[in-house]
Chains A and B, each alone.
Chain A
């Protein structure tokens, strides 16, 4: 009973430190997406380069694909863009771009300037599809499997680490 006098406060302290350690090291900007493991919200949007054509989620059934949300006004998109261009060259997984709340002209000019890594880009002018995908900070990237289920979400710019350690291994596994 005597030992409780110091062991109990010590235990409480250790628990508190553990909680703070985990809690404070988390990034509050990274809100876990409720979409993970759920079917990707359906869309049918006009293509950026061929506005008369639409691309729908249904067209992509049976392929593993990445949906990268970008915009010409998005500054941090420039950070990840070289990585996407590189990924496109490697031809591992098709990347579709969602030009989010952007002027199509500005979007096309931006891709002409920085390179176009996308199999196709689609235009979400009013941001409705963005809302369906729970987009709150561009860039964001979703990995969607053959059945159309969201398997991974990257919030903020893609990093070489995230690509190498999480996304590409998952892509390979899903492509089997």
Chain B
């Protein structure tokens, strides 16, 4: 009971601590100094690829080009462009590769739906094989093994295993 109370107190303290960290003040600034725009850009940049260091996002990269692209993304956002507009701007220049999440279009259908098609195909194959096997297995050990059955019954009845 005491332990439970202690845990509850701890959870409450944690909740209080987290809510103390990021209350949004009236002018849209969080305590950490991140404006709503900063947060939006951070989220957007995490979906965009830096083309110089290809396995990093725009948000993570220190490359010079990433700096320029972040500046460009920010100025577009300040000009009132939506996230989709900004992505379209970058795709027009660098291609779909700039997006971490590839768009669904005929050339990426295999990428998006291939795994599900494989799963369905594998499942169907599995089902067919199981059905065929179930049909091909005919009961073999019906009443043929009467001697073994007799021995088993004796053993179950607690008699000595004479046959052994």
Majority SS at the chain A contact face = loop
Chain B CB within 8 A of A136 CB: yes
Interface size band for B = 10 to 19
Cα A134 to Cα B52 in complex, Å, equals: 12
Interface size band for A = 10 to 19
Chain B CB within 8 A of A33 CB: yes
Cα A29 to Cα B49 in complex, Å, equals: 13
Cα A28 to Cα B96 in complex, Å, equals: 14
Of all chain A residues, the one with the shortest Cβ separation from B51 is A136
Chain A CB within 8 A of B160 CB: no
Q: Which of A103-155 contact B (CB under 8 A)?
A: 126-128, 130-134, 136-137
CB distance from B7 to the nearest CB of A (A): 50
Chain A CB within 8 A of B92 CB: yes
Which residues of A have CB within 8 Å of B64? Answer: 101
- Contact surface of B with A, Cβ cutoff 8 Å: 51-52, 54, 64-65, 68-69, 72, 91-97
Apart from the given pairs A34-B94, A131-B72, A134-B93, 8 other A-B contacts in the complex at a CB distance below 8 Å: A31-B51, A34-B91, A101-B64, A127-B65, A131-B69, A132-B93, A136-B94, A137-B52
